[in-house]
Amino acid sequence: MEKWHLMTIVVLIGLTVRWTVSLNSYSGAGKPPMFGDYEAQRHWQEITFNLPVKQWAKFINPDWIELHSSRGYESQAHKLFMRTTVFIADLLIYIPAVVLYCCCLKEISTKKKIANALCILLYPGLILIDYGHFQYNSVSLGFALWGVLGLSCDWDLLGSLAFCLAINYKQMELYHSLPFFCFLLGKCFKKGLKGKGFVLLIKLACTVVASFILCWLPFFTEREQTLQVLRRLFPVDRGLFEDKVANIWCSFSVFLKIKDILPHHIQIIISFCFTFLSLLPACIKLTLQPSPKGFRFTLVSCALSFFLFSFQVHEKSILLVSLPVCLVLSEIPFMSTWFLLVSTFSMLPLLLKDELLMPSVVTTMAFFIACAISFSIFEKTSEEELHLKSFSISLRKYLPCFTFLPRIIQYLFLISVITMVLLTLITVTLEPPQKLPDLFSVLICFVSCLNFLFFLVYFNIIIMWDFKNGRNQKKIN
């Protein structure tokens, strides 16, 4: 079958699954007075519409955004409108980026590219959060993906412009900013700081500054206003973590209540130090040896470091890690699929709160089956496939009999999946004991955190060891 037919079918499947999930309940449905993210988005619309005045929204239905009186507004027509906006934003920004990215992948067959696109589009986490819980993550993730695409194809200026847009849409994208910075810096160094590299550096700096100024212009009128915006963007007053998240700090507080023991500014300093220490090796490596492949893996490890050690992390921030992992799906299908399953599982308490159990189970199974068939993941667990060959060789210098690394990883995978399934069943069927009402959410976060730590170590190993003999390898892409 022709390539574009198959790609169209894949995109249509992705769109169909998205819209079907959107017919479910949303965050905070019928739960006054706080409601949820859905209401938050409507509130944004209310505010941006009323002050200052913009003409376009008035055309549709003024009731939806009437200042003050539309708080908590919920109706079928409005739900349809909100869902449609997410759908269109997705269609215009995220999906073309995914399709283009898969088409630009090198050294794999057409069928594999299309299967790759299918799996990325079927990733349950993003679908459930955007179309179920209700957010617009696909906009910022889409822009970030355009950024990655630009940088991989050597369109550095466009790529950095796209990434600036992503950051200015959602400040969470700063998780990805370090790898972008290091990769571009590395490229400048490679071209030589005295000649073309310097020119590139200047051009990039101008692009970044210009795009930031453009986005922030309306807010520059007063210094006080700018500071207010910054304070809202980075709520340092809020504390190390909120609610239950698969973070180191949250899991650690099971044993030791850090929040209560340490003073506020110490908490910030500790989290800062841990975050930067964990991502420093990968970033330095990327600056010294910039390559698109290294760039992608560094995106994963940096975002994961931020997620695990940063402050005020929300469980939805795992999506920022999932996007880069989707990008490396074709290179390490087994581990990526495993990671993406865990990432969806880690958001389970949130999804259950929004009554999205059925869609999450179905989409997760569909995703798993799609990946298992497209990539035959269970056959790709050898050392070579897992990119652990160099690491194993180094390790065998000290422990000559260490040949069973793939076996260990397979067992770990099995244990992880069984634990996830069991925890899901328990959370859905049983009631937690009276004394520990949050028992199940904490367990889920704890287990996910352990998994994420393992992945952090794994991805860092790949970055540091696999590219060690970079000059000796034939394929450096």
**Site residues for another protein per CB under 8 A:** 1-2, 5, 8-9, 12-13, 15-17, 19-21, 23-25, 76-77, 80, 83, 87, 358-359, 362-363, 365-366, 369-370, 373
Under DSSP, is residue 313 helix (H, G, I), strand (E, B) or coil? strand
Contact status, residue 328 vs residue 116, Cβ threshold 8 Å = no
Of the two residues 88 and 261, which places its CB atom closer to another protein in the complex? Answer: 88
Of the two residues 147 and 359, which places its CB atom closer to another protein in the complex? Answer: 359
CB of 119 to another protein, least distance (A): 12
Of the two residues 10 and 386, which places its CB atom closer to another protein in the complex? Answer: 10
CB of 18 to another protein, least distance (A): 9
Of the two residues 174 and 357, which places its CB atom closer to another protein in the complex? Answer: 357
CB of 474 to another protein, least distance (A): 29
Q: Which residues have CB under 8 Å from 248's CB, separation 6+?
A: 274, 308, 309, 449, 453
Residue with tokens 């569909």: 366
Contact status, residue 134 vs residue 37, Cβ threshold 8 Å = yes
Buried b or exposed e, range 303-341, using 16+ CB within 10 angstroms: bbbbbbbbbbbbbbbbbbbbbbbbbbbbbbbbbbbbbbb
CB of 309 to another protein, least distance (A): 36
The span from the CA of 380 to the CA of 382, in Å, is: 6
Of the two residues 369 and 425, which places its CB atom closer to another protein in the complex? Answer: 369
Of the two residues 148 and 377, which places its CB atom closer to another protein in the complex? Answer: 377
> How many other C-beta atoms are found inside a 10 Å radius of the C-beta of residue 254?
12
Of the two residues 215 and 362, which places its CB atom closer to another protein in the complex? Answer: 362
The two tokens of residue 367 are 């995703």
CB of 15 to another protein, least distance (A): 5
CB of 351 to another protein, least distance (A): 14
Contact status, residue 468 vs residue 376, Cβ threshold 8 Å = no
CB of 76 to another protein, least distance (A): 8
The span from the CA of 457 to the CA of 334, in Å, is: 16
Residue with tokens 């986005």: 215
